[in-house]
């Protein structure tokens, strides 16, 4: 574990096998030397870090993917993707279960997408809204400024993307519609965007987020509907900023999200908004998300600003 500038880093590296491993602190020197002996120089890495959030009254932890060559290209800025996990998930899910690092490496290596930075924040079960916690405010007023100060990201909309799965797909959808001036494109994988209400077995009803004040966390249909896309879709259209959206779902989703995804896609297309829909074989599970991640990344990175060298 290395401390630098008040932030804590745990180092992960990939060495050509699509694997991500944590280097134990006591053996870091020996293991790094062994690994580097057969590794390509400056391979991509996933770094765990945190920033203290005044809005959350706690550290906001996250993983960051840094592409191959980041360490040696000190004058280059990169596009950045914010990738949100699902309910009860953690920041490691995209790497361990979703194979994000090896997928990014492969797509970059083949020239399918540009080298980019990926930020994967921990959000517990707060659904990326300012209800149980002030996560939405923390995301925009603390996490993004911290990322742009700490890493060499392109700091404009043209270089910033958003994506997520399930609860994270809901969060990515909300952020793209509420703040289209901040994101060039969005990827919504099995997004939990239930309209008019979540199904009876959805976690959205039990996580004590969508509740009236002083109601002990009891689910409220009114609060859910206040925070779902029909409540602010017209305002999104009035802004006149198009955000291309990649939307998918398994065809046997446990929460019938294939129907929700199709309905949302149809709404976008009826309003002449750019979007693509994929209904694939599978349930509400990682085999769906990991197998479609590459397709989603290729779509959202299509028009993003390429890395910029600032001499």
Per-residue pLDDT of the chain (311 residues; tens, 9 = 90+): 333 333 333 344 443 333 333 433 334 443 443 344 444 446 899 999 999 999 999 999 999 999 999 999 999 999 999 999 999 999 999 999 999 999 999 999 999 999 999 999 999 999 999 999 999 999 999 999 999 999 999 999 999 999 999 999 999 999 999 999 999 999 999 999 999 999 999 999 999 999 999 999 999 999 999 999 999 999 999 999 999 999 999 999 999 999 999 999 999 999 999 999 999 999 999 999 999 999 999 999 999 999 999 87
- How far apart CA 173 and CA 186 sit, in angstroms, is 7
In 3D, which of 93, 102, 104, 94 has the Cα closest to residue 18? Answer: 102
Q: Is 137 helix (H, G, I), strand (E, B) or coil?
A: helix
Q: Please name every residue paired with 7 in a beta bridge, in sequence order, or none if there are none.
A: 4
- pTM here is 0.88
Buried b (16+ CB within 10 A) or exposed e, 172-181: bbbbbbbbbe
Contacts of 159 (CB under 8 A, 6+ apart): 77, 78, 79, 80, 153, 184, 304, 305
Q: What are phi and psi of 86, to 5 degrees?
A: -90, 180
Half-sphere exposure in the Cβ direction for 300 (13 Å, CA): 34
Q: What are phi and psi of 134, to 5 degrees?
A: -90, 60
């Amino acid at each position: 574990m290395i401390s630098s500038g008040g932030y804590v880093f745990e180092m992960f590296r990939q060495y050509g096998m699509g694997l991500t491993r944590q280097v134990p602190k006591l053996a870091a020197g020996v293991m790094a030397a062994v690994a580097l002996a057969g590794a390509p120089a400056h391979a991509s890495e996933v770094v765990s870090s945190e920033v203290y959030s005044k809005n959350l009254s706690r550290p906001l932890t996250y993983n960051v993917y840094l592409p191959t060559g980041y360490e040696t290209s000190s004058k280059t800025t990169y596009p950045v993707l914010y990738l949100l996990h699902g309910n009860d998930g953690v920041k490691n899910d995209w790497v361990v279960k979703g194979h994000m690092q090896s997928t990014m490496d492969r797509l970059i290596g083949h020239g399918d997408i540009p080298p980019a930075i990926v930020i994967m924040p921990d959000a517990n079960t707060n659904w990326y809204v300012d209800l149980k916690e002030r996560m939405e405010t923390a995301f925009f007023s603390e996490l993004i400024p911290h990322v742009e100060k700490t890493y060499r990201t392109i700091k404009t909309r043209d270089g910033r993307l958003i994506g997520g799965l399930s609860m994270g797909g809901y969060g990515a959808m909300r952020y793209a519609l509420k703040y289209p001036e901040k994101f060039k494109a969005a990827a919504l994988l099995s997004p939990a965007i239930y309209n008019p209400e979540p199904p009876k077995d959805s976690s959205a009803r039990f996580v004590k987020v969508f509740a009236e004040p002083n109601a002990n966390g009891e689910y409220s249909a009114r609060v859910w509907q206040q925070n779902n896309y029909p409540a602010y879709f017209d305002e999104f259209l009035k802004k006149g900023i198009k955000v291309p959206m990649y939307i998918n779902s398994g065809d046997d989703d446990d929460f019938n999200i294939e129907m929700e995804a199709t309905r949302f896609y149809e709404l976008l297309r009826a309003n002449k908004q750019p979007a693509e829909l994929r209904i694939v074989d599978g349930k509400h599970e990682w085999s769906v998300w990991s197998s479609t991640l590459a397709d989603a990344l290729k779509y959202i990175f299509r028009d993003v600003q390429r890395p910029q060298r600032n001499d």
